[in-house]
Amino acid sequence: MQSTIVMINLFGAVALLLVGLAQVKDGVSRAFGARLRTGLATATRQSWRAFLSGLVATLALQSSTATALMVSSFVERSLVKPRMAQIVLLGANLGTALTAWIVSTGIEWLSPLLILSGFALTRSQATTRQGGGVALIGIGLMLLSLHLLDLASEPMRHSAALATFIRLLDGAWAVAFAFSAALAFACSSSLAIVVLILSLASTGVLPGGLLVALVLGANLGGAIPPYVATLRAAPAARRITLGNLIVRACGCLIVLPFAGEVADLLSRLPGTKLPVDAHLLFNFVLALVAWPLTRRLTRLMARLVPEEASTNQGPSYLDPQELSTPVVALTSATREVLGVGDLIERMLLNAADAFKTGDLAALQDIPMLEQRVDRLQQEVKLYLSRLGRNGLAEDNARRSIAIIDYAINLEHVGDIIEKGLVAQVRKKVSQGLSFSEAGFEELSRFFELTIDNLRIAQTIFVTGDIHLARRLMEVKVEVRNLEKQSAERHFARLREGQAASLQTSSLHLDMLRDLKRINAHIVSVAHPIMDASGLLSESRLRALG
């Protein structure tokens, strides 16, 4: 009976830790989700920034699985290059290890303060503060679970049955490795299992080599859930999670025979906590070794997971049978239009890459993508027109109009990219034209701002967040000022007689105009939300007299 109570307390504390992890992920996603997605998607042009973005995202979300799924979805939509995604996951693995090391530093006493502070923040009306409050409560629960784990493991110090079981496992590291991997997979968290191992290590009954073997198993088990979650995804996404799984598996299998030596080495360090130190060292060394091999790994994954032949260019979510249930049909239409927004993002990214690098290959897919945008927005309009034939409730009718308006605006953006930006970038590259350094930086910044605004608009379209909508409306003024200031600086360079500005004058102004037009269409997603809240005036004209 006593042993049953001990196990219930032990696994109850682990469950609390998992609840805390989920709270942190949910809170951070609510508070900073759009910024995290934008940062993760844009900070991958250099390998060291990709590594750092993976580490930071995982520290924020407390989940390397969430980071892996996020970055694999970006690869699927051609927003992140496969090699950079593999480097992001190396950073994510180290981020998980750093989290385990931080929570093991004896800061459990902060738990009540964090929970109290988080609760106070959740009373706020601001979405960011509410999300931050939920995240603080999650961190407090995580620290509380560490205290409970320590209390639950105390009776195990004198357990003869546990000592016998440990002796059996110590003679079979492979079994211990597999057992730990299975637990990490079941929990979808290597962090939770490493913390559990740390708690068991405090009893003093686990040999060092066995502890390292268990930590290695947790590392492998933590890489399995992302791969399982992407089994039905596109090949591009599966390659990323499979590559990460292979890297971790190879690292674990290489180190496992030397688990005893690793334990002896770490035990000589002053103040060492073997499980978390081994976890941190393993992921740090793995990143150093695997980083230079990411190009070969990417090519290997392309061979192992080949592209699938697909002829489906039509809508994915517009099910005619759902028309009898308006709420479901509107949700499906929303998902379809989100996909249209993703296509527009790919077009913008390709145009920006071609502008910055001079590689016209990046423009090849844009006409095909624009055709898909045209077809999908037409399908959405027809679908929602059929939905409205029998009449809709006021809220549903308003949402239907908002979806159609956003789809039409996205289609206009696609036209501007294909007929405007693509032609301008092609002219720049084919004629060997070079902008002035200042002009090039201004246009590059405008491209990046436009892509960021589109990502914010996608979030607003789904969530209807009024704070984000207000922020996007404010960005409209920033866009107008940016276009005006860039044009004025360009004319100043013309007056100075700069040769590069003279050669690219019409090109510079045309690109400014088109990017400004694109932003105007993007910002339109905020209009219905601001209008419904009574925050949008009918006219911007000032009163006369």
* pLDDT tens-digit map of 376-402: 998 999 899 888 777 788 888 888 999
Domain of 372: which CATH number?
A: 1.20.58.220
Residue 6 has a pLDDT of 67
Domain ends where: 271, 304, 337?
304
Is 313 contained in some domain? Answer: no
Residue 409 has a pLDDT of 93
One domain for residues 334 and 467? yes
Q: Which segment of 88-102, 167-181, 506-520 scores lowest on mean pLDDT?
A: 167-181
Q: Which residue has the higher pLDDT, 354 or 127?
A: 354
Residue 150 has a pLDDT of 67
The amino acid occupying position 402 is: A
One domain for residues 83 and 145? yes
CA distances to 153, 326, 450, 514, 543 from 423, rounded to whole Å, are: 68, 41, 18, 11, 42
One domain for residues 337 and 299? no
Give dist(CA 510, CA 382) in Å, integer: 34
Residue 255 clears pLDDT 70, i.e. is over it: yes
Q: Which segment of 15-19, 91-95, 469-473 scores lowest on mean pLDDT?
A: 15-19
Section 137-162 average pLDDT: 70
Quick one: CA dihedral 389, 392, 394, 400, positive or negative?
negative
Residue 244 has a pLDDT of 92
Q: CA angle at residue 58 from 54 to 61, to 5 degrees?
A: 135
Q: pLDDT grade, residue 542 (50/70/90)?
A: very low
Q: pLDDT grade, residue 536 (50/70/90)?
A: low
Give the length of the chain: 545
* pLDDT tens-digit map of 68-80: 877 887 777 666 7
Q: What is the mean pLDDT of the chain?
A: 82
Is 387 contained in some domain? Answer: yes
Encoded tokens for 331: 């949700």
Range with the largest mean pLDDT of 51-65, 93-107, 152-166, 256-270: 256-270
Encoded tokens for 360: 């016209």
The amino acid occupying position 102 is: I
One domain for residues 386 and 450? yes
Note whether 423 and 306 are within 8 A (CB).
no
Give dist(CA 44, CA 95) in Å, integer: 17
Residue 365 has a pLDDT of 84
One domain for residues 374 and 415? yes
Is 466 contained in some domain? Answer: yes
Note whether 39 and 57 are within 8 A (CB).
yes
Residue 109 clears pLDDT 50, i.e. is over it: yes
Residue 161 has a pLDDT of 60
One domain for residues 208 and 246? yes
Domain ends where: 246, 273, 304?
304
One domain for residues 270 and 331? no
Q: Give the closest residue to 401 by CA, choosing from 519, 528, 535.
A: 528
Q: Which residue has the higher pLDDT, 283 or 495?
A: 283
Contact residues for 157 (Cβ-Cβ < 8 A; gap 6+): 203, 204, 205
Classify residue 543 by burial, with Cβ atoms within 10 Å: 0-12, 13-18, 19+.
Answer: exposed
The amino acid occupying position 382 is: L
Residue 290 clears pLDDT 70, i.e. is over it: yes
Residue 500 has a pLDDT of 64
Residue in the block written with tokens 């294909």: 418
Residue 544 has a pLDDT of 40
Identify each DSSP E strand in 232-320 by its residue range. Answer: none
Is 545 contained in some domain? Answer: no
Q: pLDDT grade, residue 297 (50/70/90)?
A: very high
Residue 347 has a pLDDT of 92
Section 180-196 average pLDDT: 83
Residue 364 clears pLDDT 60, i.e. is over it: yes
One domain for residues 223 and 149? yes
Which residue range is the domain that position 355 belongs to? Answer: 326-532
Section 246-257 average pLDDT: 93
Residue 129 has a pLDDT of 79
Instruction: Please report the DSSP string for 428-465 in residue order.
Output: HHHTT----HHHHHHHHHHHHHHHHHHHHHHHHHHH--
One domain for residues 289 and 335? no
Section 476-486 average pLDDT: 79
Note whether 98 and 133 are within 8 A (CB).
no
Is 544 contained in some domain? Answer: no
Is 314 contained in some domain? Answer: no
Section 440-452 average pLDDT: 88
Of the chain, the percentage scoring pLDDT greater than 70 comes to: 87
Gap between the terminal Cα atoms of the chain? 87
One domain for residues 332 and 298? no
Is 90 contained in some domain? Answer: yes
Contact residues for 124 (Cβ-Cβ < 8 A; gap 6+): 130, 133
Domain count, the chain: 2
3-state SS, one letter per residue, for 188-234: CCHHHHHHHHHHHHCCCCCCHHHHHHHHHHHHHHHHHHHHHHCCCCC
Give dist(CA 106, CA 223) in Å, integer: 27
Q: Which segment of 58-62, 304-308, 362-366, 407-411 scores lowest on mean pLDDT?
A: 58-62
493 three-state secondary structure: helix
pTM beyond 0.75, yes or no: no
One domain for residues 199 and 283? yes
Is 538 contained in some domain? Answer: no
One domain for residues 351 and 227? no
Residue 543 clears pLDDT 50, i.e. is over it: no
